[in-house]
Amino acid sequence: MKIHELIRELREPSDSKIVLLVADGLGGLPIESGGKTELESARTPNLDACAREGVCGLSTPVLPGITPGSGPGHLGLFGYDPLEYRIGRGILEAMGIHFSVGPRDVAARGNFCTVDDAGLITDRRAGRPTTERCVAMCRKLQQIRIPGVEIFVEPVREHRFVVVFRGDELGDAVNDTDPQQTGHKPLEAQGEGKPAENTARFVNLFVSEAARVLRGDAPTNMVTLRGFARYPKIETLQEIYGLRPVALAVYPMYKGLARLVGMDIADAGATLGDQIETLRRLWNQYDFFFLHYKYTDSTGEDGNFAAKVEMIEHLDAELPKIRALDPDVLIVTGDHSTPSKLRSHSWHPVPVLLWAPTCRPDPVIEFGESYCLRGGLGQFPAMYLMPLAMAHAGRLGKYGA
Amino acid sequence: MKIHELIRELREPSDSKIVLLVADGLGGLPIESGGKTELESARTPNLDACAREGVCGLSTPVLPGITPGSGPGHLGLFGYDPLEYRIGRGILEAMGIHFSVGPRDVAARGNFCTVDDAGLITDRRAGRPTTERCVAMCRKLQQIRIPGVEIFVEPVREHRFVVVFRGDELGDAVNDTDPQQTGHKPLEAQGEGKPAENTARFVNLFVSEAARVLRGDAPTNMVTLRGFARYPKIETLQEIYGLRPVALAVYPMYKGLARLVGMDIADAGATLGDQIETLRRLWNQYDFFFLHYKYTDSTGEDGNFAAKVEMIEHLDAELPKIRALDPDVLIVTGDHSTPSKLRSHSWHPVPVLLWAPTCRPDPVIEFGESYCLRGGLGQFPAMYLMPLAMAHAGRLGKYGA
């Protein structure tokens, strides 16, 4: 990315510290038209104080109208163009169960399905088996050995699992084997180009072995695989920004995303309180701290407006402990919106608060979507948050004389 | 640039006149959080009247978080993407002393330094000689003759000078000869590719001759050279916009930047009053007038809030003389922010005022950063100011049927 080259050229050494606090799915919607969002309904005296001193705005994670998943949402916040850097479904699934994917891996999402005697699929999700059964079936698949490749099979939940092929010269341009409808056989894997042909050959061998070992286990008597993806080669935050970054996250997928961009992964405990205690403990060892707070998203996905408000208020109550560490730049934002009204991620712009002593005043006196609309950061692509953080942290020199 | 092709296609002849008044480093910050900026503190009845009638906004010179030098700042205002068009340090230094660089030139910044008997550098700035001594030493260097190339040496200040190599097939992909630390010899120049190899050969011959002629002149007994740069090939404002542009600037660097984009350079005197008098005199000969006002930047760099306020008020007081000429479009803005609180250029967006009879009303009733945040131009890349000026000047036709 052009801006990454520019940052490398302009960056300057500094002892300043940047905290990026991501409240997952922070942006919301009112239940009733004209009402208040979750963030606006929450009592947030500490966030409001930061908003008054700092500068606010609304970020667009990908493009207007585009709803991001967690991968693109976080890549944007970490300063990457989420349209240029894509993380395949297989890799994200592997990260989601904390499987440590590496450069020789191709990962795919697997589904148990049901086939009849003729091999035609009768249920693409095998009647949604219990997770216990998923684990037991995966144990059978783990016995499969194919010469020339290492294969890892890990259960996810219900009919879902992850399979990772590890070897040399493995490409990921391989089609999904799920025919997307019943009454058809699983598709044969085919590779585009030599490395992907290698992968496809191993995939087809694995699938026929899977059919053999699962033969007597209807309804979980067959598998389909999709989202073949290699571990993406991404320049790290160290390489681009010269930062020493660490992630304080509870959930595996966010740790995985952080590891992908070069962050160290701290053992941050299970609660926001634990995370902030870890932040305090590691304060002198790092200069970029990514704190991930999951519950604003999960309550939004549950459609629980009141619970999301409560989670935001909990976050606000913990904020003074972070400010007490005296960061040079403190950012509070989300990776996308998750309005409880929609029970899902959405495309709506995301509230952003950037606090630093070098902020120009704006009219924002409360942290909320309506105020952010009038904020000094305006509406901007999320990937520019990192350059702004670097500037306010005194870590960027002048471009050109 | 794509937009330049579009403008060429759409431009229409007109007698309309555009005035671009650049108050260098105009944007600022309050001293105390929540206070007023320099521009907001200044009493500016004339600018405020223009703001009420016109349209305002905030421009981003390069990208969010990126602090521009004067070169990229002005290129943006002149309608060029400052990331696509880069001006090398040597060219800017040459412009800064009003050396008329041309297409066969490679310019570099030179430093006098001190070497010991073994040729090792003991002081990279030769003990910061007086400018008088710099001039005397440059006179010695001016006697150097190298067959096949013309060489110009001009003093800048203290240990600094400019050297220009003029000839055919000279490239600028040449390393700096300054080793960046004492105890080392100056580095040999090496070129990347044939044309730069030509330059490097001349550079090495020049440096060894310099060592010879300065031998008895310790502490100014050696030179290092850096920032080798060719005169960039830039489409002119005439070519892109069909304008007849003239620059009314006092300081050499801004004249140089204007010449780079094809402007005629007027002898504009020493004060803003002189510049406006020149504007009046040349009113019928040109249709695009670039007025550069330096003192908003220099007072900002001095950290003198009150003086910057005063310079803004002085500008405001002179404004009626410009309006009296009845321009079709009048723009008042800066090339970047220079908050006196930071004593330097900064990345903060820059206030923009565009006055024309075709402006759509916006809520701005005073020219200042907070009001501009609510202005009709929004926040936008500085390079779009020229197309906006062209449109308001009635100089752009419709795109497509």
Q: Within 13 Å and on the Cβ side, how many CA atoms surround B370?
A: 15
CA distance B61 to B219: 41
Percent of chain B residues past pLDDT 90, beyond the cut? 91
For B87-109, the pLDDT digits (tens) are 888 998 898 888 888 889 999 99
Identify any residues that bridge with A226 across adjacent strands, giving them in sequence order.
A109
Strands A264-265 and A245-248: parallel
Given a cut of 90, whether residue B347 has pLDDT beyond it is yes
CA distance B313 to B33: 23
Q: What is the mean pLDDT of each run of 10 residues along chain A (401 residues)?
A: 92 97 98 96 98 98 96 97 92 86 93 96 95 96 96 94 96 95 96 97 97 96 96 92 96 88 93 97 98 96 97 98 98 98 97 97 97 97 98 96 77
Q: Which of A16-25, A369-378, B7-16, B225-234 shows the lowest mean pLDDT across its residues?
A: B225-234
The per-residue DSSP string of A9-78 comes to HHB------EEEEEETTBB---SSTTS--HHHHS--HHHHHHHHHSEEEEEESSSTTPPP-HHHHHHHHT
- Closest Cα to residue A25, out of A305, A300, A258? A300
Q: Is A119 left (phi over 0), alpha (psi -120 to 50) or beta?
A: left
Q: Which of A84-98, A104-118, B51-65, B232-246 shows the lowest mean pLDDT across its residues?
A: A84-98
Is residue B140 within 8 A of residue B214, CB to CB? The reply is yes
Would you give the distance in Å from CA A93 to the centre of its chain? 10
CA distance A369 to A365: 12
Q: Which of A52, A360, A399 sits opposite B62 (nearest CB)?
A: A399
Identify any residues that bridge with B248 across adjacent strands, giving them in sequence order.
B291
> In chain A, what residues touch B372 (CB-CB under 8 Å)?
none
Asked if B72 and A399 come within 8 Å (Cβ–Cβ), the reply is yes
Local structure of B108: helix, strand or coil: strand
Give CA torsion, residues A306, A309, A313, A315, to 10 deg: 120
For B187-215, the pLDDT digits (tens) are 999 999 999 999 999 999 999 999 999 99
Q: What does the angle CA B137 – CA B141 – CA B142 come to, to the nearest 5 degrees? A: 115
Is residue B203 within 8 A of residue B106, CB to CB? The reply is no
Q: Break chain B down into helix, strand, coil percent, rounded to 5.
A: 35, 20, 45
> In chain A, what residues touch B348 (CB-CB under 8 Å)?
360
CA distance A7 to A14: 14
Averaged over B365-386, what is the pLDDT? 98
DSSP state, A383? G
The residue whose two tokens read 């040349």 is: B282
Q: What does the angle CA A243 – CA A248 – CA A249 come to, to the nearest 5 degrees? A: 130
Is residue A314 within 8 A of residue A296, CB to CB? The reply is no
Q: Which residue of A has its CA nearest to B375?
A: A374
Q: Is B164 left (phi over 0), alpha (psi -120 to 50) or beta?
A: beta
> In chain A, what residues touch B64 (CB-CB under 8 Å)?
377, 380, 384, 387-388
Q: Which of A10, A360, A399 sits opposite B369 (nearest CB)?
A: A360
Q: Which of A52, A376, A389 sits opposite B373 (nearest CB)?
A: A376
Which residues, including other chains, have CB under 8 Å from residue A169's CB and lie 6 or more apart? A194, A195, A198
H helical segments located in B107-193: 131-141
CA distance B202 to B69: 30
Please report the ipTM that was assigned to this predicted complex.
Answer: 0.88
What separation, in Å, do the N-terminal and C-terminal C-alpha atoms of chain B show?
Answer: 23
Token readout for A292 is 């991930």
pLDDT at A401: 77
**Residue A66 φ then ψ, to 5°:** -95, 120
CA distance A81 to B20: 34
pLDDT at B252: 83
Q: Which residue of B has its CA nearest to A54?
A: B33
pLDDT at A64: 98
The C-alpha R_g of chain B, in whole angstroms, comes to: 23
Q: Is A331 left (phi over 0), alpha (psi -120 to 50) or beta?
A: beta
CA distance A291 to A77: 12
Token readout for B210 is 């310099």
For B141-174, the pLDDT digits (tens) are 999 999 999 999 999 989 999 999 999 999 999 9
The per-residue DSSP string of A102-137 comes to -TTEEEEEEEEEEE-TTS-EEETTTT---HHHHHHH
pLDDT at B105: 95
Q: Which of B85, B347, B369 is best to mutate for the A interface (most A CBs within 10 A)?
A: B347
Q: Which helix (H) or strand (E) holds A131?
A: helix A131-141
pLDDT at B157: 87
For B390-401, the pLDDT digits (tens) are 999 999 999 998
- Closest Cα to residue A249, out of A236, A263, A230? A263
Token readout for A78 is 């970490």
Query: Distance of CA B11 to CAs B3, B258, B377, B385, Å?
Result: 12, 21, 22, 15
Asked if A398 and B29 come within 8 Å (Cβ–Cβ), the reply is no
The residue whose two tokens read 């052009």 is: A2
What's the burial of B216, exposed, middle or buried (CB within 10 Å: 0-12/13-18/19+)? exposed
The per-residue DSSP string of A178-237 comes to --SSTTSPPPPP-BSSHHHHHHHHHHHHHHHHHHHHTTTSTTS-EEEEEEEEEPP----H
Q: List residues in chain B touching A: CB distance below 8 A.
A: 29-30, 33-35, 37, 58, 62-73, 82-83, 86-87, 89, 92-93, 342, 344-349, 369-370, 373-374, 378-379
Given a cut of 90, whether residue B231 has pLDDT beyond it is no
H helical segments located in B27-186: 38-41, 45-53, 70-77, 89-96, 131-141
The residue whose two tokens read 């035609």 is: A120
pLDDT at A199: 97
- Closest Cα to residue B109, out of B167, B183, B166, B165? B165
> In chain B, what residues touch A376 (CB-CB under 8 Å)?
349, 373
pLDDT at B180: 87
CA distance B317 to B326: 17
Q: List residues in chain A touching B: CB distance below 8 A.
A: 2-3, 6, 10, 52-53, 357-363, 374, 376-378, 380, 384, 386-392, 396-401
CA distance B121 to B341: 37
Strands B378-381 and B55-60: parallel
CA distance B129 to B112: 9
Asked if A378 and B374 come within 8 Å (Cβ–Cβ), the reply is no
